[in-house]
Chains A and B, each alone.
Chain A
Amino acid sequence: MTATLLPTRGGRRGLEAGMLVFAALLATGAFAAVTYAHGASFTVQIAYYGAGFVVLFLGAHLAVRRFAPYADPLLLPLLAALSGIGLAMIYRIDLANADSAERAGRSAPSAYAPLQMMWTLVAVALFVGVLIVVKDHRALARYSYTAGLLGILLLLLPAVPGIGATINGARLWLRVGPLTFQPSEISKLLLLIFFAGFLMRKRDVLSVVTKSILGIPFPRARDLGPVLIAWGASLGMLFIENDLGQGILVFGMFLAVLYVATERVSWFIIGLLLAAAGAVIAFFTMPHVQPRFEIWLHAFQGNNPQGPSYQLVQGLFGFANGGILGTGWGQGAPQIVPFANTDFMMSSLGEELGLTGVMAILTIYLLLVMRGLRAAIGVRDSFGKLLAVGLAFSLCLQVFIIVGGVMRLIPLTGITLPLLSYGGSSTLSNFMLVALLVRISDAGRRPPTPATPLVDPAAAPDLIAATGPERVGPAEPAKTTPAEAPAETGAPTAPIAPTAPNAPAGSGERAP
């Protein structure tokens, strides 16, 4: 793992503010275009919308200024741009649905845009909350096992009869009164914290190799445990909850973090083989997996375009209708596709913004993922590196799974398009994901602070005792107590006081 600490010109918060204003301009422009195309003249409502958007993200910006002054200046504007474009498209589909309901003489269906605005408001509040609560991302490493347990519990919660609910064939939901919530979205973040914390402690053990096959060094058989458990959990999720997307996502995230932690291609190959085996098992045992392949491979054959492949084929027609430059906001007919504002968000955008717009949106995702990986390179502790890689990669994998599915590159599995789609749980969790990246990037870009005696050597034993046995893994004798102690004081990058006692054993000689 190579760390590059290049000079940064301050926190560059001004750049962030400027880019945020630009993102607000994009969102307002999209909203105005939708309104105009729908036949309304420009009203003061548009100005309200734009002002609301600016105020909302200005709040987030001020929180970043206050709580993460050295954070990457692009993360928040990229997030805001995606969220604004998504809101405009959700509003546009609302209008279309209301129109068709009016023509058919039915009452207007429920509008999603106000709900999504409310969710965005809550999500920004959570974004700020994460920045305030998580003062130092390394503190999360202490709760990694707790986070893992909670993550698995949340994953299993929908399977509990009574509170769990099956919506559109997947048992992924919790129903509390009128509200439904998808706990797997939050458990995704918790599991990532667990993966990063676990692999930070075990990476030395897991990168031990015994023999090489075809020139690739392979790990010991007894170290396969964690991979098999992650694999089993993903497959279990598939069986219990009837959902393909989340299982692939969790296993993929684990593999990515494992690969980065150990720097062994062999783990990646083992993971791919396991994933292939899982796919074969699912194909032959799960009743709803085979139709998915049929929908995907033979989308245009026989009766499929009118039958099971209807959604996919209509989405593709949407892309085709959009062409290079798109039909323009409000000029296409994306509402024909079922779930046009969640899973098929990309085909809606593809129809109205065309290939040009889709490429721009994918580039924004790419930049977001890139800045996440950049945060991983910049930060100086391995937990932060692994967590940032996991967060960035999970975003990347989500986009790949759903956009690949919608574009018929891979079988379609229903997950939301992060930050663009309608969906409360998904919006909340993805804003929190970006907030964690902001926190990590802040730690990585903060210049080294003058060494203040953080740990009084006399008081150090108390702190060491307070860290608990879980934090002192036997696998890493060198990263023991004196190193961890300053984390308690909440100063992220302050070098340890020179007077602190040195790690006693195992630090010099290479581990056998």
Chain B
Amino acid sequence: MGQELVLLLFRVGFLALLWLFVLLAIRAIRTDLWGVPRRQTQAVAVRPPVAPVPVPAGRGRRNRPAQRLVVTQGALVGTTVTLGAAPVTIGRANTSTLVLTDDFASAHHARLFPHNGEWFIEDVGSTNGTYLDRTRVTSPMPVPMGMPVRIGKTVLELRR
């Protein structure tokens, strides 16, 4: 009787363990796909800083540098690049940070780099040019939040 019980425990216990493993794996994938649940991120954002830094009135939040580069039009629409401290190269070359699949883009088309808390766009010698809204980029230009950057048929935007 004791042995039967142990066998039953093994039988059901192993299956439970197996499914627990699967569910834990799925949970890990979920956080990978959508990041930390929204409630948690908001909680982090709301928490006051330990030593509040005086910010010039009216500028505060708006001046925070962009967090993401989002493709809003073109073949890669929906693609997001998280911005850090490193410049982002854009082009069709496989070595670019953002590899475009756009026939009208050059292999090395443009470069987005941070400078003094702002992101600048620079054309690195493309054939068809880089446009900040309607203006052709000839020298590095600061990119305002949400302003469309056009490269071939692709449109990019900075977002927070």
Decide if B35 is an interface residue (CB 8 Å cutoff).
yes
Contact A33–B14 (Cβ < 8 Å): yes
Contact A29–B17 (Cβ < 8 Å): yes
A15-B95 CB under 8 A given contacts A451-B86, A502-B106, A511-B103: no
Contact A5–B15 (Cβ < 8 Å): no
Which residues on the B side are within 8 Å of A353 (C-beta)?
14-15, 18
CB-defined interface of A469-501 with B at 8 Å, one 1/0 digit per residue? 000000000111011101100000111101010
Which residues on the B side are within 8 Å of A449 (C-beta)?
86
CA distance in complex: A463, B9 (Å): 64
Minimum Cβ distance to chain B for residue A175 (Å): 38
Contact A507–B87 (Cβ < 8 Å): no
A503-B107 CB under 8 A given contacts A5-B82, A328-B10: yes
Minimum Cβ distance to chain B for residue A131 (Å): 21
Decide if B147 is an interface residue (CB 8 Å cutoff).
no
- CB within 8 Å of B: which of A82-130? none
Contact A36–B6 (Cβ < 8 Å): yes
Count of chain B residues with a beta carbon within 8 Å of a chain A beta carbon? 61
- CB within 8 Å of B: which of A348-365? 353-354, 356-357, 360-361, 363-364
Minimum Cβ distance to chain A for residue B63 (Å): 22
Decide if B137 is an interface residue (CB 8 Å cutoff).
no
CA distance in complex: A451, B99 (Å): 16
Which of the candidate stretches B44-52, B54-62, B120-128 sits at the interface with the other chain? B120-128
Contact of A480 among B10, B107, B126 (CB under 8 A): B107
Contact A483–B95 (Cβ < 8 Å): yes
Contact of A507 among B11, B21, B31, B127 (CB under 8 A): B127
CB-defined interface of A11-39 with B at 8 Å, one 1/0 digit per residue? 01001000100110110011011001100
A15-B28 CB under 8 A given contacts A478-B92, A496-B96: yes
Which residues on the B side are within 8 Å of A188 (C-beta)?
none
CA distance in complex: A22, B22 (Å): 10
Which of the candidate stretches A48-56, A267-275, A380-388, A407-415 sits at the interface with the other chain? A380-388
Contact B14–A329 (Cβ < 8 Å): yes
Q: Of all chain B residues, which has the CB nearest A368? A: B25
CA distance in complex: A361, B14 (Å): 12
CB-defined interface of B92-110 with A at 8 Å, one 1/0 digit per residue? 1111111101011111100
Which residues on the A side are within 8 Å of B127 (C-beta)?
507-509
Contact B11–A383 (Cβ < 8 Å): no
CA distance in complex: A510, B31 (Å): 40
Which residues on the B side are within 8 Å of A503 (C-beta)?
93, 106-108
CA distance in complex: A36, B10 (Å): 9
Decide if A4 is an interface residue (CB 8 Å cutoff).
yes
CA distance in complex: A447, B83 (Å): 9
Which residues on the B side are within 8 Å of A367 (C-beta)?
22, 25-26, 29
Which residues on the B side are within 8 Å of A502 (C-beta)?
106-108, 124-126
Decide if B79 is an interface residue (CB 8 Å cutoff).
yes
Decide if A326 is an interface residue (CB 8 Å cutoff).
yes
Q: Of all chain A residues, which has the CB nearest B27? A: A15
Contact of B13 among A29, A383, A478 (CB under 8 A): A29
11 additional A-B pairs beyond A4-B79, A364-B22, A450-B85, beta carbons within 8 Å, are A2-B75, A380-B98, A449-B86, A483-B108, A495-B86, A495-B95, A498-B87, A502-B125, A502-B126, A507-B92, A510-B104
13 contacts between A and B (CB under 8 A): A5-B82, A7-B35, A33-B11, A326-B11, A329-B14, A364-B21, A381-B99, A479-B92, A482-B93, A484-B95, A487-B95, A498-B122, A508-B104
Residue numbers of B with Cβ under 8 A of A are 6-8, 10-15, 17-22, 24-26, 28-29, 31-33, 35-36, 75-82, 84-89, 92-99, 101, 103-108, 111, 122, 124-128
- Which 5 pairs of residues, A with B, have the shortest CB-CB distance? A508-B127, A483-B93, A328-B11, A381-B94, A503-B107
